[in-house]
Amino acid sequence: MKPHILIIYTGGTIGMIEDTESKVLKPFDFTHLMENVPKVKMLDYVIDNIQFAEPIDSSDMDIPHWQAIARHIVDNYENYDGFVVLHGTDTMAYTASALSFMLENLRKPVIITGSQLPIGEVRTDGEENLITALQIAAATDHAGRPVVQEVAILFENYLWRGNRSTKLSADNFNAFKSNNYPALAKIGLDIYYDFDALARPKSEPPLNPRYDMDPNVASIDLFPGPTETALRHQLSIPGVKGIVLRTYGAGNAPTAKWFHDAIREAIERGVIILNVTQCSNGAVLQRYEGGEKLSSLGVISGRDITYEAAITKLMFLLGMGLSPHAIRKYLNTALCGEVTVTPPSLRRSPHSRHYYE
């Protein structure tokens, strides 16, 4: 049996062409993209495709687009062995995180990729990324099970867990990284999978899609010298139910009383606040007075979650219409490998490959 793969083309640089007048890159259609990758025919796969009616630059990505991608996967889940989503790099990590939450109990590969240079350019990285993504989406183990059973980002030399990924470079072909989780695979002469890092679900419950996402989230970035007026404004944006508070280092924040009062009052009004570090690597550990105080006020530790996963997890949990108590519980739980919940004292050295088990 040939592997059956469904490509979902949303847009992004990979399929863009230069506008002859303005010289800016604009999304183009899927036929153009595939014409530029004749090598795909060398893969002995059955490949079908679906494309957005209007391919987009991923800076226009939003919740209805995520719902459309998720629906395409769900509607075609039984007919394909794997899915490849072609997407712009700018918001790829948000889409990967959102899909990982929406596609509960996913047991097939959803591989998201794109490129830094359009597929029609001589030095494009798009051809290699597309072909490798297709190979990963088709890969099975000795028992015929999909090697990848989660949402992942393939870019240049690495396969990353989608909800652990961040766009790192606007220039480098290795544009993505998981700062707090090992690569799921390294791409060299062969594709070398790390079976300790890949998600391996223990039971086989059926795919359980959840499409509702609540957009009423916001984020606050700390910097030295904030004013009380600005902070209070940000904490009381009309309609906002969940806030990602981007703190210093290991989750640290100012110790001033007015700061704590403003945070406490927001929590008393029912706003969920999730503490996520501004550092690209490491976790919120509440090692210092400022961070410890936040936790005593009811701010939830985001541990080592990425900003992208924090925002989309809040959207997801709020979208389920859960009580604040239940939302707090799930923010303290790894839903699909997005956060390390093992107490720091039980973790192995960060230099060990198994640190994030």
Report the sign of the C-alpha dihedral through residues 199, 72, 126, 118, in that order. Answer: negative
Among 82, 88, 126, 146, binds ligand ASP (CB under 6 A): 88
Phi-psi region of 297 (alpha: psi -120 to 50; beta: other; left: phi over 0): alpha
Query: Residues near 52 by Cβ (< 8 Å), separated by ≥ 6?
Result: 9, 10, 11, 65, 68
Q: What is the pattern of x (binds ligand ASP, CB under 6 A) and - over residues 97-126?
A: -----------------x-x----------
By beta carbon distance, the residue nearest ligand ASP is 88
Give me the active site residues, please.
13
Count the Cβ atoms, other than its own, within 10 Å of residue 28: 18
7 vs 138, beta carbon nearer ligand ASP? 7
- C-alpha dihedral over 133, 134, 137, 138, to 10 degrees? -140
58 vs 340, beta carbon nearer ligand ASP? 58
88 vs 109, beta carbon nearer ligand ASP? 88
Measured in residues, the chain has a length of 357
Amino acid (one-letter) located at 265: E
Interaction of residue 90 with ligand ASP, rule CB under 6 A: yes
89 vs 275, beta carbon nearer ligand ASP? 89
CA distances 147 to 135, 157, 208, Å, are 11, 17, 20
Binders in 13-52 for ligand ASP, by CB under 6 A: 13
Candidate segments 87-95, 96-104, 129-137, 227-235, binder of ligand ASP by CB under 6 A = 87-95
Interaction of residue 251 with ligand ASP, rule CB under 6 A: no
13 vs 180, beta carbon nearer ligand ASP? 13
Interaction of residue 12 with ligand ASP, rule CB under 6 A: yes
Candidate segments 84-92, 148-156, 268-276, 336-344, binder of ligand ASP by CB under 6 A = 84-92
The token duo for 85 is 């989503």
- Per the DSSP assignment, residues forming a β-bridge with 103 are 209
- Per the DSSP assignment, residues forming a β-bridge with 77 are none
3-state class of 36 per DSSP? coil
Interaction of residue 89 with ligand ASP, rule CB under 6 A: yes
CA distances 256 to 214, 291, 308, Å, are 32, 12, 29
Interaction of residue 165 with ligand ASP, rule CB under 6 A: no
Are the C-beta atoms of 339 and 356 separated by less than 8 Å?
Answer: no
Candidate segments 30-38, 85-93, 194-202, 235-243, binder of ligand ASP by CB under 6 A = 85-93
Among 57, 81, 127, 338, binds ligand ASP (CB under 6 A): 57
57 vs 304, beta carbon nearer ligand ASP? 57
Tally helices (H) and strands (E) across the chain: 9, 18
Q: Which residue ranges make up the site for ligand ASP (CB under 6 A)?
A: 12-13, 57-59, 88-90, 114, 116
